[in-house]
Amino acid sequence: MLSLPEQRGRERAMHSRTISVTIERGESGRYFARSSDLPGFAMTDLDRIRLISDVPIGIEELLTAQFGAVLVTALPSEADDDTLKFQATLDDEQVRAFEHH
């Protein structure tokens, strides 16, 4: 028998989706984020994002503040000075919010 937190964690895992997200620096010097996995996912003017050691400092907090808890995993091998790719795990409700955004 699973404990309640374990059961909730397993339920969330069953009802979540991991998307690949790309953060890029635009011509204006400001960052924006997009995802080909979830076309409704687009964030612009990410002034609070800082790319430090290939990790998007601030993106997890920004996404969480806007959409609820989001797990972010950096993909450092895909990073350069102007682009960063990472994965975000969203639950079904968050996916629907982006799809109807």
In tens digits, the chain (101 residues) has pLDDT values of 555 555 555 555 557 777 787 777 778 777 777 888 877 777 765 655 554 445 555 666 666 766 666 666 655 555 555 666 777 777 787 777 766 65
pLDDT for the residue numbered 59? 66
- The confidence score (pLDDT) of residue 53 equals 47
For residue 89, give the amino acid letter. Answer: T
Asked if 20 and 41 count as a contact pair (C-beta separation under 8 A), the reply is no
**Two structure tokens written together for 58:** 């601030």
> DSSP letters of 32-48?
EEE-SSSTT-EE---TT
Q: What's the predicted TM-score (pTM) here?
A: 0.51
What is the pLDDT, as a whole number, of residue 52?
Answer: 46
